[in-house]
Amino acid sequence: MFQNFPIQDQSQTLLTIAGVLMCLAGWLLFRLGTRVAGMGIGMGLGFGLGNVAASVAKLPPDQAMLAMGAGALIGIIGGLLLVKALTNYLFAITGFLFGALLARLALETYSAMNEQTFVLNSTSSLILLGGSAVGAVLAVMAKKTIMVVVTAYVGTTLLSMAFPVIATSSGYFWAILATSIMWQGFVFERISRPRRKPDHSQKL
C-alpha cells in the first residue's frame, strides 16, 4: 500500500510538510500568521514614527528610546486591531459578492422556470442587495468555519500534488479532506471552549 505514496524529490517533501501542516492546523496558522504579521508591521511603523517624533522634538537619548518604545507598543496594538478589522472586511466583501451571485442565479432560475427573461429592475435589485447583505453577514459569522474548510482543501490539494495517487483517486482526496475538516473542527472547539472554573460551593 505504501508503495503508492513515494516521495521522489525535495519539492514533494516540502509539499508533503506544507500539506500536513495545513490539514492539521491550517486555520490556526492563518490566525496566528495574520496577527503576527499585523503586530510586526505595526511595531515597525510605530517604532519609526516614534523615532521621527523624537528627532523632530530633539529629545535626549533616554526619552527618545522611551518614545520609540511607546510608539512600538501602540503600533503592536494598532496592528492587531487593524488585522482583525481587515479580516472581517475581506470576509464581508467575499460574502457580499457570493451572496449577490447566488441571488442572481436564483432569480435567473426562477425566471427560466416561468419562461421569462431575467430583467434587472427595482425588485430584482432589492433581492440582489438583500442576498448580498445576508452573504456578508453569514461570511463574517462563519469565517472560522470557512477558514477550516479552505485550509483543509488547500492542504489536501498540496498532498495530492506530492502524491499523484491522491489526485487520481477521488476516494483518497475526499477522505483526507473530510478528516482534516473534522480534526480542525475538533481542535478549534477544544481551544475555543471556555474553561469552566471549578465549583467549590458543593464542597463541605
Indicate the pTM of the whole model. Answer: 0.69
What CA–CA distance (Å, rounded) separates 167 from 159?
9
pLDDT of residue 192: 59
Q: Cα-flanking dihedrals φ and ψ of residue 187, to 5°?
A: -65, -45
pLDDT at 204: 45
DSSP per position, 135-164: HHHHHHHTHHHHHHHHHHHHHHHHHHHH-H
Q: So what's the pLDDT on residue 1?
A: 46
Q: How deeply is 26 buried, as exposed, middle or buried, from its count of CB atoms within 10 A (0-12, 13-18, 19+)?
A: buried
Nearest to 84 by CA among 145, 38, 149: 38
Return per-residue pLDDT of the chain as tens, 204 residues: 445 555 457 888 899 999 999 999 888 888 888 899 999 999 999 999 999 988 898 889 888 899 899 999 999 999 999 998 988 898 999 899 989 899 888 888 888 888 788 778 888 889 889 999 999 999 989 888 888 898 999 999 999 988 888 878 778 889 999 999 999 888 766 765 655 665 555 544
Count H helices, E strands: the chain?
Answer: 6, 0
For residue 202, give the 3-state DSSP assignment: coil
